[in-house]
Chains A and B, each alone.
Chain A
């Protein structure tokens, strides 16, 4: 569904991605783990076109989207749940959700959008309860749910999630990950970026490890969970104490 070949991205003169290649098959959950500043967010932002100075190849359903702008890419069926949620804070919950379907209003039937809204409410009953509340006043977990809900309203073929567990209490994090696996069961394709490597590896089938703008390791998530290097660097396990 998504194939990236030799993607290089730049912020001004600084090169943030130094030739990343990866692919995501239909129906798969693939996670991307790595430390702060490794280029995970840059990668997602490059896919949707928010980082526009990029070279290489990004094939989505066999179409190269590297020249397209975010609006065109979103219309093709890629949806980003951005880092830090990026809600329309002064707008209500329902307005946020409706705007999630903004680019569909011209081509899709209103009833279809409405039934998708109901589906989001089934997935997140709390959002239905709070639908007239101002989005900025929701708790962190609810805001994350709204961000996911808003991206689902675009009826995406591929969802990119950037650190959905960031800044959330452990209990809420578990809940968010349950929702992600629920979405997976429904057949949604997800590329998941996470610092919480353990949780990400448990719900994904494959994973890539990214370091300073390069993919340094890839494989089945189960294997990576038991990989010595990954355990030491990202899972905080088997840390050898060094005595001089």
Chain B
């Protein structure tokens, strides 16, 4: 069991999400930085899909009455176990009664804490991922609060200790042309890849609002279209919104481009005031990038003998 001593800014139970319900208006959701989540699970010997905690910017303080094997990945978050600094990206044994205190992220936005056995909350629609807009899934459909007591499953796996060395995100974020790309002015297309955009303070699991050059759309009004996380929508003010993991399944704004699947984990770590750039790739390059990320993840963990 995990006892929440002090909640972080927003601590959410997450897994790989709930595909299959989009036609009913329910997005897939799940961990924003899937790569960090999977690596955390592998470090503690869990299956990739086991539920973890997604910690936003400032982590919680947690007590482990019965101890536990944990790993913290993703954002570089300061963490202490019983007062001693705890390095990120490696397997750590917490003794019974141990307290894990996580602080501010110095780099990145979302940390992932896996515990061997996985967080054992009640699945809703096949997933333990928290879906805040409708308040279901995860832990009672909400972020953790002090005094919550979360059960976790029985630790399985190999019980080995590992350390991650994983190539982080390389700028720029790679994109493919969106369905309405042709409706944008040449100047907008040039600006999309030539200029830097700024991440505004309006950043959450629904989407990231960017500021930068206004992207002028010349096409007509659009009917609602189905969209995906990473789609770059342009509302009438020309300031793009990148759709997030819990964003609506349909949208009415033109989509100029969409971030490739391999780079969505990088999107998850952008924080307000970060700059970002976009660069077009081909579909073949997008698929190759996905395979490369999977391979990098398979090779990311060095196991202690």
Q: Do A and B come from one complex?
A: no
